[in-house]
Amino acid sequence: MSLEIEKCEGWGRIGRVFGKNGFITPNIVLLRFFDQDSFLSQNFLPKSLKCQENLIPSVLEKEIKSEKDSLSLQLSPKLFIYPSLQMQGKSLNDISCFEDLFPIDITKNSDSIASYHIIPWDLPIINLGQYNSYLKVLNDINEPELSNNTKLALNVPLMPEIFTQLLPILKDSTIEMVCLGDMSSLITHPTLLLKFLLHINSWVSPNIMLYAPGVPSSYIPILVYLGIDLFDLLFVEMSSVSKKRSDLIFEQNITVEFFLERLWLTKKALETGKLRDLSRIFANSFPPLKTLLRVADSQIPLENNTPLYGPNTLFCTDETDFTRPEVTRFRKRVQTRYTPPKHIRGIIFLPCSAKKPYSKSKSHSLFRRVIKRNMKRKYHLIEEVILTSPLGVVPRNLEYTFPAGHYDIPVTGKWSEIEKKHLITDITYFIDKLSPNIPMVGYVTGKEREILIEACSRSDRPIHLLSEEDGSLTSRENLQEFSRLLQDTFSSVPSKPKISAQLTFLRTVADYQFGKGIGSILIPNNVQIYGRKDFGFRVQLENKHLLTFRPKTGLLTLSLEAGERLSGYTSNTVTFDGDNIEGSTIFTNAIIKANEEICPNDEVLVVSTTDELLAVGTSYISGDLLVKMKRGKGIKIRQKVRRK
């Protein structure tokens, strides 16, 4: 049994655990408690709950009435919990072989459902912080021979000192699940919880599933987003006896049904690329949850595992979205990878529009008509730049590129301090890349105008603005003043021979996608460009297909030809173990190296160990996961080198 990743977002993933009785994560684990004493079950539990091998299901399962729920739980893995070594009458010193750890022979588990067995604790060792002795023993005993459905799980409490000890035992071992035992006591301590997750993530291989016991249902989306694969029904069970009505709207009268529905919703969100959005919705129900989401962006590198392009629309509805990975990545790439084309002699800053891409909006078609009319043959020397929140600065040539062509924000006209701060930073980055004699016009009013003034004064650059501070930019008067402004500012710009706008456009996108300066390497002047922006460009070089621009994502897809040109230049490179790729998919076990910055949906070059180009394709997962995952799809091949 082992895990394959089917889809990811942030640290969240849909996993498929293969095997005869596989299952899908995120999921619920059904807990089985080893019956320590028959007196107890006589006194606590109805007879009907007792089952073979002395393992009692957690009480709640009897309350699962709805057929739908019991059906969905049939596909959930089981987790067996055994008494501590002490209760079994053993101490760590008595453990000489694997069988000694358990009160029953777990190797002969014939259950039809995937079963995981928690390695019992040695209590003083754990509680006195001597986890390493415990792990050492586990490490020293022979690997167990388990049946295919039977796997081990390790419970890990919040003890930072143990994490360094974890690595050797978790690496290549039969442990396939880690239980984060202290998770439920940490949920109202978001910063600690995040620290715990960071530790775990740095030590536990992504091939291992993470299970968080006893957490409330409102935490499911965000915890999945932060990498948790499995949950349980303990919270429901514990809430059933609490007299206090919960303050949390999503936990009121929580039932198994609701709990499972939240999980189902989370899975759906992951499938459709909306997990972050769901996390935000739940985060708004409880301050510690919100803290968790806010702090996560600054402390956890979520970017690399967030798809390069996502769903049709990217909603940014509150301040947590200003720092969501899609936004941060766009801003970073514009800051570091974008360079204004060499021939540019003037800049016009414009406001954003609700319709995307901007140029399809009424306001932008008006603006552009005015600009074209005034600039005439110098039009191609002017760069239009859109100021917006939360993306910051969007050069016209990137207006199709995800998420610039896809985001949607609530329109209020008000800017928060953080939005202002971000925009000023981005404008400053942009201006500092321009040579000092390039004149700039700002056709913006209101807050954008103020922000633009502030950014320009910081960089000590003049900016030509509309006299009116507020008011409609589409009014006849303002458009007339815009005309005058353009005439005055750019009249001295010398005209230059025309450069293909399409070529500049494609190169800008290529830079954004593959790194600064890649555009001109990938796309030489003598290419033939077919099609239209809105329907996509097909680009050929010497009658061979080079690349395609897809307007839906605003990104390029590469051909083998393009791969050859990029070889050695782009960091989007993956090393394949072998020199003959079979089929149209490369699985992760065949990948020995991949650049860390590769994200899901990224275009990648597949090379051999001797750096020979073998194929081009799209990555399913991040570079880190491409290397670390033992199973699952890695690269979808578009075109590969034909061997004779």
Partner 1 sequence: MSLPRNPLLSSTIYKLRQEFLELEKDSLKPKTWFKLTETMEKVVITGVIPTRGCSWALSETGGCSVCGYINDSSRDHKIPSEQIIEHIQQSLNQANPSKPIEFKLFNSGSFFDEDDIPQKLRSQIIDLLKKPNKIRLFSVESRPEYLLNHQDIINETNIRLKPITLEIGVGMESSNDAILRDCWNKGFLLDDYRESVQITRLNGIRIKTYVLIKPPFLTELEAICDSIRTSIDAIEIGTDIISFNPCTVQNGTLVNFLAKKNRFSPPWLWSVLHVIKTIRNQFPEQELICEPIAAGKQRGPHNCGKCDKNVLDLINRVINSKQIPNDLSNICPCYKRWQVLVTTPIEVFRTRNHSKLRFLNPLNE
**Per-residue x/- mask for partner 1, residues 95 to 134, rule CB under 8 A?**
--------------------------xxxxxxxx-x--x-
CB of 183 closer than 8 Å to CB of 215: yes
CB of 266 closer than 8 Å to CB of 303: no
Site for partner 1 in 202-231 (CB under 8 A): 213-216
CB of 408 closer than 8 Å to CB of 315: yes
Site for partner 1 in 23-42 (CB under 8 A): 31, 33, 36-37, 39-40
Residue 284 lies near partner 1 (rule: CB under 8 A): no
Residue 306 lies near partner 1 (rule: CB under 8 A): no
Residue 46 lies near partner 1 (rule: CB under 8 A): no
Measure the CA–CA gap between 57 and 41, rounded to whole angstroms.
11
The window from 77-85, 552-560, 603-611, 615-623 that contacts partner 1 (CB under 8 A) reads 77-85
287 upstream amide cis, omega within 30 of 0: no
CB of 10 closer than 8 Å to CB of 302: yes
Measure the CA–CA gap between 294 and 279, rounded to whole angstroms.
11
**Closer by beta carbon to partner 1, 250 or else 576:** 250
**Closer by beta carbon to partner 1, 33 or else 407:** 33
Residue 500 lies near partner 1 (rule: CB under 8 A): no
CB of 548 closer than 8 Å to CB of 539: yes
Please identify which residue in 104, 198, 248, 438 interacts with partner 1, judged by CB under 8 A: 248
CB of residue 639 to partner 1, shortest distance in Å: 50
- Between the alpha carbon of residue 29 and those of residues 3, 443, 501, the distances in Å are 15, 58, 57
The window from 87-95, 434-442, 480-488, 606-614 that contacts partner 1 (CB under 8 A) reads 87-95
| DSSP secondary structure letters along 490-537 | HTTPPP-----HHHHHHHHHHHHHH-TTHHHHHS-TT-EEEEETTTEE
Residues binding partner 1: what is the number (CB under 8 A)?
Answer: 65
The window from 141-149, 242-250, 355-363, 375-383 that contacts partner 1 (CB under 8 A) reads 242-250
Measure the CA–CA gap between 377 and 354, rounded to whole angstroms.
30
**Closer by beta carbon to partner 1, 185 or else 589:** 185
Residue 191 lies near partner 1 (rule: CB under 8 A): no
Residue 83 lies near partner 1 (rule: CB under 8 A): yes
| CA-wise closest residue to 3 among 589, 570, 418 | 589
**Closer by beta carbon to partner 1, 74 or else 93:** 93
Residues 6+ apart with CB under 8 A from 128: none
Residue 291 lies near partner 1 (rule: CB under 8 A): no
Strands (E), 230-381: 230-231, 314-315, 346-351
Measure the CA–CA gap between 527 and 545, rounded to whole angstroms.
10
Please identify which residue in 19, 20, 44, 148 interacts with partner 1, judged by CB under 8 A: 44
**Closer by beta carbon to partner 1, 37 or else 596:** 37
Paired with 636 in beta bridges are 585, 618
Residue 54 lies near partner 1 (rule: CB under 8 A): no
Please identify which residue in 54, 88, 201, 571 interacts with partner 1, judged by CB under 8 A: 88
Binding site for partner 1 (CB under 8 A): 31, 33, 36-37, 39-40, 43-45, 58-59, 81, 83-91, 93-94, 121-128, 130, 133, 155, 157-159, 179, 181-182, 184-189, 192, 213-216, 234-235, 237-244, 246-248, 251
